[in-house]
């Protein structure tokens, strides 16, 4: 039996020791799913704080409760390390590291480069390596494969390499690691097959595609589809505002059509780990083929302009109350990028708050998931929602519609609300004090 055949057998009988590089919102849930399936799993991260927490059975990721993590650690199914040498003990490794953009909107491969380099220096023959970090088509071949073969090893003979895009939706209680279909594409057919078998041990449905490049493109299509359609409905919101039409009513009515229409909703801008970033990866790669992705770039331009539009709405609302932004007390409700999570990455609330700060507003915010903000010139702590906090504010800006917000109570106390999420749709009583996006 060859080393690769032995690897597949260890995966099937779950005697393989597997690992995850990166313990963020993707890596830790993935590691937990592996451990729950019965694999001995090691999570690797350069942050010693995360390593210490996990080894204590304490989670730093909102989607993984301590009561789920702790038993796995106690039973020896899951541990964490910041020592790259442990890679030499692993049979299969999933890479889940960040892939941000540079200020020039070009892909930043720093984290992938470091992770792949660490693996190349420590992995054993007969290993399976799977890249999960969202990136441009060709990364697995051009970056990972190139680095892993530098030592003279050959893919498909000495090791296996594949791409399988993460599909984590933070805060989603319905679709988790285990029941969200997994896309897998390898450098060779053998790479694809063994990687698929690997994921089939703890994920309900695995979808094989023809190559790693195809798998990389699948992920970018998914997120670019959303970003472009959000850009379309955001532009429609700007148009409806000029025409004095309620865009929310229009989208809801259109959504009654049972075929040929999928509702997307306007908002204050894109946030999070995917939508503001991933389309730029595709657009950048397309330019290397002398192809210009006009839809993608236009949608990005529209979505990026939405915080300025919200700022204008705040200014108009205050003017209607014979006030200006300079010196007005503005309370921002929700600063995370989406409902019921504490992730502030690329959150449009931060852009709106920075515009308000520059205009001289007396800023405060409340977010039960974000205790403090220390980003750039913003240095604030979440305030309470006591009666005087809302009642004394000149303007309340609803940026994130956390389900815990008592919007009826807030609407009754606030003199002015700018609602960027249509969250006050079902709030009764006098709504003259509410201005929607």
Could you state, in chain order, the average pLDDT of each consecutive group of 10 residues for the chain (437 residues)? 92 97 96 98 97 97 96 98 97 96 87 96 96 96 95 94 95 94 98 98 98 97 95 97 96 97 96 84 91 93 96 96 96 96 94 97 96 91 88 96 94 94 81 85
CA distance 8 to 25: 28
Q: Does residue 39 sit in helix, strand or coil? A: coil
Residue 274 catalytic? yes
- Model pLDDT, residue 428: 65
Say what the pLDDT of residue 86 is: 97
The β-bridge partners of 80 are 43
Is beta strand 362-366 parallel, antiparallel or unpaired with respect to 329-333?
A: parallel
* C-alpha to C-alpha distance for 321 and 196, rounded to whole angstroms: 61
Which helix H or strand E contains 215, and what residues bound it? helix 212-243
Using CB atoms within 10 Å of the CB of residue 36, give its burial: 0 to 12 exposed, 13 to 18 middle, 19+ buried: middle
Number of other residues whose CB lies within 10 A of the CB of residue 289:
7
Burial of 349 (0-12, 13-18, 19+ CB in 10 A): buried
What are the pLDDT digits (tens) for 28-70? Answer: 999 999 999 999 999 999 999 999 999 999 999 999 999 999 9
What pLDDT does 274 receive? 82
Q: For residue 347, which of 285, 416, 270 has the smallest C-alpha distance?
A: 270
Catalytic residue among 96, 274, 324, 395: 274
Give pLDDT, residue 223.
93
Q: What pLDDT score was predicted for residue 272?
A: 81
Quote the strand ranges of 223-325, DSSP E.
Answer: none
Domain annotation for the chain: domains and CATH numbers: 3-210 (3.40.50.720), 307-436 (3.40.50.720)
Run of H or E residues at 364: strand 362-366
Distance CA 300, CA 313 (A): 21
- Gap between the Cα atoms of 378 and 333, Å rounded: 15
């Amino acid at each position: 039996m060859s080393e690769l055949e032995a690897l597949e057998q260890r995966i099937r009988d779950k005697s393989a020791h597997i690992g995850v590089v990166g313990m963020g919102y993707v890596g830790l849930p993935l590691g937990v799913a592996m451990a729950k399936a019965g694999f001995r799993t090691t999570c690797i991260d350069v942050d010693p704080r995360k390593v210490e927490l996990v080894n204590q059975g304490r989670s730093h990721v909102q989607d993984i409760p301590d009561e789920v993590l702790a038993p796995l650690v106690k039973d020896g199914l899951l541990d964490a390390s910041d020592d790259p040498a442990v890679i030499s003990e692993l049979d299969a490794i999933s890479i889940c590291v960040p892939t941000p953009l540079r200020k020039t909107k070009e892909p930043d491969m720093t984290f992938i480069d470091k992770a792949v380099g660490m693996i190349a220096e420590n992995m054993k023959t007969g290993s399976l390596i799977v890249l999960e970090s969202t990136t441009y088509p060709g990364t697995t071949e051009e970056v990972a494969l190139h680095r892993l073969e530098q030592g003279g090893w050959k893919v498909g003979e000495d090791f296996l390499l594949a791409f399988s895009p993460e599909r984590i939706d933070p805060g989603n209680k319905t679709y988790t690691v285990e029941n969200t279909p997994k896309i897998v594409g390898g450098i060779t057919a053998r790479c694809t097959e063994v990687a698929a078998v690997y994921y089939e041990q703890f994920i309900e449905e695995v979808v094989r595609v023809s190559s790693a490049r195809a798998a990389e493109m699948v992920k970018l299509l998914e997120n670019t589809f959303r970003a472009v359609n959000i850009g379309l409905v955001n532009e429609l919101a700007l148009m409806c505002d000029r025409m004095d039409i309620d865009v929310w009513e229009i989208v809801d009515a259109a959504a009654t059509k049972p075929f040929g229409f999928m509702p997307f909703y306007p908002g204050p801008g894109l946030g999070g780990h995917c939508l503001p970033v991933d389309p730029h990866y595709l657009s950048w790669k397309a330019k290397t083929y002398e192809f210009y992705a006009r839809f993608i770039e236009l949608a990005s331009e529209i979505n990026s302009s939405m915080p300025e539009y919200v700022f204008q709405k705040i200014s108009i609302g205050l003017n209607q109350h014979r006030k200006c932004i300079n010196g007005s007390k503005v309370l921002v409700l929700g600063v995370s990028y989406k409902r019921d999570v504490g992730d502030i990455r690329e959150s449009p609330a931060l852009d709106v708050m920075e515009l308000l700060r520059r205009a001289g507003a007396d800023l405060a915010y409340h977010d039960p998931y974000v205790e403090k903000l220390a980003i750039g010139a913003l240095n604030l702590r979440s305030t309470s929602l006591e009666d005087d906090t809302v009642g004394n504010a000149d303007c309340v800006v609803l940026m994130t519609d956390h389900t815990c917000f008592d919007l009826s109570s807030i609407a009754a106390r606030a003199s002015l609300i700018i609602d960027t999420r249509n969250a006050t749709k079902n709030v009764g009583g006098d709504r003259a004090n509410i201005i929607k996006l």
